[in-house]
Amino acid sequence: MNLILLIILLTISWNKEKTVFNPSKSPVIYLNNPSFEEDPEEALLPSGWNRCSERSTPDILPGPFGVELEAVDGETFVGLITRADGSHEHILQRLHPRLKKKECYTTSIYLAHSKTYAGYRKPIHLRVWLGNRKCKQAQLIFESPLIKSNSWEKYNLEFTPNKNYKYLYLEAWYENGETGRKGNILLDGIQPIRICPRA
């Protein structure tokens, strides 16, 4: 009888350990290269990130285009622009594990604007999307105000996916849809995506 009880207790303990250490059950989603660490260079996609168009050519800063703001997290950050021809830059990343439908999540990102960025000097917005195909935006979860500050400001995001999603998509966006606006936005220090604290 004691042997049977011991086996049951060991089985329960082993199952608890499996639950605790199973990465797919983790409530935290860590991004790959969330502070965009790379050697500063024009038109360089940061490692860990993807794009959907050859015209999306983000820049690793500071240094290029006269941008001298210091990074808020690590050594470098990324700059995205909007162009006069209506095109705009973006980056995206696949999430592991994916976001779950109807679960509340939080994260944060630092945003700034540069007065010197070649001819792309106007302030613009950042939009954050979720999706299930690499280049298909499905749910808009955040649109920043017009970013005018030349110093870093932290923006907190809280969102609830309307489906299970596996892609996070960051895009530079015009003011009020003004597609002829030549602007820039700087991004740094995205925090891990966590489940909202329970009340």
pLDDT digit string, tens, across residues 40-55: 999 999 999 999 999 9
| Residue 22 pLDDT greater than 90, yes or no | no
| Cis status of the peptide bond prior to 64, with omega within 30 of 0 | no
| Residue 188 pLDDT greater than 90, yes or no | yes
Per the CB < 8 A criterion, the answer to whether 130 and 169 are in contact is yes
**Domain membership flag for residue 11:** no
For residue 43, the model assigns a pLDDT of: 96
**Domain membership flag for residue 1:** no
With cut-offs at 50, 70 and 90, classify the pLDDT of residue 26.
low
Q: Provide mean pLDDT across the span 63-81.
A: 97
**Domain that residue 75 falls in:** 28-195
**Domain membership flag for residue 91:** yes
Split into its structural domains, the chain has a count of 1
Per the CB < 8 A criterion, the answer to whether 81 and 182 are in contact is yes
| Cis status of the peptide bond prior to 40, with omega within 30 of 0 | no
For residue 2, the model assigns a pLDDT of: 58
Q: 10-14, 160-164, 178-182: which has the highest mean pLDDT?
A: 160-164
Residue for token digits 């001819």?
119
**Domain membership flag for residue 15:** no
Residue for token digits 């993807």?
50
**Domain membership flag for residue 113:** yes
Structure tokens that stand for 137 in this block: 């935006």
| Residue 128 pLDDT greater than 90, yes or no | yes
Q: Where are the alpha helices (DSSP H) in the chain?
A: 2-21
pTM given for the model: 0.85
Question: From CA 61, how far away is CA 38, in angstroms rounded?
Answer: 9
Question: From CA 94, how far away is CA 44, in angstroms rounded?
Answer: 19
Question: DSSP letter at 198?
Answer: P
CATH number at residue 40: 2.60.120.260
For residue 182, the model assigns a pLDDT of: 94
**Domain membership flag for residue 12:** no
Q: Provide mean pLDDT across the span 92-121.
A: 96
Q: Provide mean pLDDT across the span 116-128.
A: 95
For residue 23, the model assigns a pLDDT of: 40
For residue 199, the model assigns a pLDDT of: 57
Q: Provide mean pLDDT across the span 81-108.
A: 96
Residue from 161, 193, 174 nearest 93 by CA? 193
User: 197 vs 177, which has greater pLDDT?
Assistant: 197
Question: From CA 91, how far away is CA 139, in angstroms rounded?
Answer: 16
**Domain membership flag for residue 41:** yes
What pLDDT, in 10s, does the model give residues 92-103? Answer: 999 999 999 999
| Residue 178 pLDDT greater than 80, yes or no | no
Q: Provide mean pLDDT across the span 107-117.
A: 97
Per the CB < 8 A criterion, the answer to whether 183 and 82 are in contact is yes
**Domain membership flag for residue 21:** no
